[in-house]
Amino acid sequence: MKILFIASEVTPFSKTGGLGDVAGALPTALAGLGHDVKIVTPRYQDVRNTGQLLPTGQSLVLRFPFGETGGPILSARLSERLEVLFLENEAFYGGRKGLYGDAGSEFADNPRRFAYLCVGALQAAQRLRFFPDIIHLHDWQTGLVPVALRRGFQGTPLARAKCVFTIHNLAYQGQFPKRTMEDLGLPWDLFTPEGVEFYDHVNFLKAGLVYSESLTTVSPTYAREIQTPEQGYGLDGLLRRRSHALTGIINGIDAHEWNPRTDSYLPARYGPEDMTGKAVCKRALLERFGLPTEGNAPVFGIVSRLAWQKGVDLLLETLPAALQGDLKFVAVGNGDPTLEEGLRALQARHPKQVGVHIGFDPELSHWVEAGSDFFLMPSRYEPCGLNQMYSLRYGTVPIVRATGGLVDTVEGGLDGNGILFESFHRSALLAAIRRALSLYADPARLGDFQVRGMGKDFSWTASARKYEALFQSLVEE
């Protein structure tokens, strides 16, 4: 098959979260299965000096009611079957530090910026004579693609493509004022409850959900959760009506980067057949955070965006009681200033038990995964989650709330590989931590949990085959 990916971020060129990881890894896995794949993404300021970008000899000039805009199409060839195309547009993507916003607010021209991506990606495919069987779209930034495909490319070879729209986080929808219709030249007959209208606003995500042939999201449980009022963010009715077209497929992880046998970040390597190196990593982690290394206290870790969604506030409510016992806690992350300050205050109150690093540090993230005994993920909701899969691979028992992709990847119970709790309440999290302490006190049982977790296959190849089967079914319709 020929597959066109369109995404607003693609690792390693640009990234703010899991979307970038998926848009980089899934196309690579599909190309490895023998498909011809191209990815189209903006050329942001931070992409400028990669040294991998070459001119294609093609440029775009797009005309919208707000004016004419354009720029060259650049290319990075990653393998024989995989190419990344970058849309350069100085007005929209140059001279900005953030991808979607800066200083805590979104860029005011985001509707124009991502309308350019949507229409420009289709134009780029046409210019380079790449006519896909499948167009795979990701989150609200690409929601106008199926609209543009239906309205502007009928009668062209592109029109035969089927659109698959993936929801990475339904809470982010790309809602803009009604005047956006005129600004972008969208036909007013689309502005209905059955179309792109959402409470008298234009909703880019809704456009993708309405006009794509197939919908996916990043775990089976999250696919069910977003069809409920609690997690549907106003779109649960639409998703229930389209439930026949909605599939949940768990994200994979980079099994080369996240491998305790070969991880170059770690002070020692290990595997399920010999866990000696994990003890070395634990001691190094405690030293790195300036915590005492004597004794045999368990280490609980988090690596997280510090946000409401991630339940960090629940952690801050719960940990003071937990820290009355013999345990240590280390945290790496940044985000909400209130939560950052809460972690610093916890460290100040418990300097011999708590270590905190505010910021993003790839090496330290690997150290936390390897050196911790337990990994905490008390999320309010979690479409998929990756850290619980990293933890399982590193023999670090995850403690997770039973939601979204967490419940799909972590197995609770006596013969499981992790610890789950249901209620989003400090009593439930505290009980889970106490279950972890009981498990830690039984080294043989803890070892069984670790070995079962390390034996799970979360590689992208397994996920890619599920997408491959979905794409093939659409092509055969």
Report phi then psi at 9, rounded to 5.
Answer: -150, 145
Please give the pLDDT value at position 325: 94
Q: Which residue has the tokens 């007005």?
A: 91
Q: Report the pLDDT value the prediction gives residue 49, as an integer from 0 to 100.
A: 55
CA dihedral for 277, 364, 380, 460, sign (positive or negative): negative
Which pair of tokens denotes residue 366? Answer: 């690997």
Residue 198: strand pairing partners: 201
Please tell me whether the peptide bond between 157 and the residue prior to it is cis, using omega within 30 degrees of 0.
no
Q: Which of 54, 6, 5 is nearest to 29 (CA)?
A: 5
Whole-number Å distance between alpha carbons of 103 and 76 = 30
Q: Characterize the bridge pairing of strands 101-102 and 105-106.
A: antiparallel
Sequence-distant (6+) residues with CB within 8 A of 214 are: 162, 163, 164, 165, 245, 247, 470, 474
Nearest alpha carbon to residue 328 among 418, 437, 421, 431: 437
- Check if the beta carbon of residue 138 is closer than 8 Å to that of residue 17: no
Q: Are residues 117 and 142 in contact, defined by beta-carbon separation less than 8 angstroms?
A: yes
pLDDT in tens, the chain (477 residues): 999 999 999 988 998 888 998 999 999 999 999 999 999 999 998 785 556 899 999 999 999 999 999 999 999 999 999 999 999 999 999 988 889 998 678 999 999 999 999 999 999 999 999 999 999 999 999 999 999 999 999 999 999 999 999 999 999 999 999 999 999 999 999 999 999 999 999 999 999 999 999 999 999 999 999 999 999 999 999 999 999 999 999 999 988 899 999 999 999 999 999 999 999 999 999 999 999 999 999 999 999 999 999 999 999 999 999 999 999 999 999 989 999 999 999 999 999 999 999 998 989 999 999 999 999 999 999 999 999 999 999 999 999 999 999 999 999 999 999 999 999 999 999 999 999 999 999 999 999 999 999 999 999 999 999 999 999 999 998
Lookup: tokens for 301: 């870790």
Amino acid at 370: A
| Tokens (6 digits) for 148 | 């543009």
Q: Decide: 414 and 439 in contact? Cβ < 8 Å.
A: no
Q: Please name the residues in contact with 51: beta carbons below 8 A apart, sequence gap of 6 or more.
A: none
Burial of 129 (0-12, 13-18, 19+ CB in 10 A): exposed
What tokens does 215 get? 């919908």
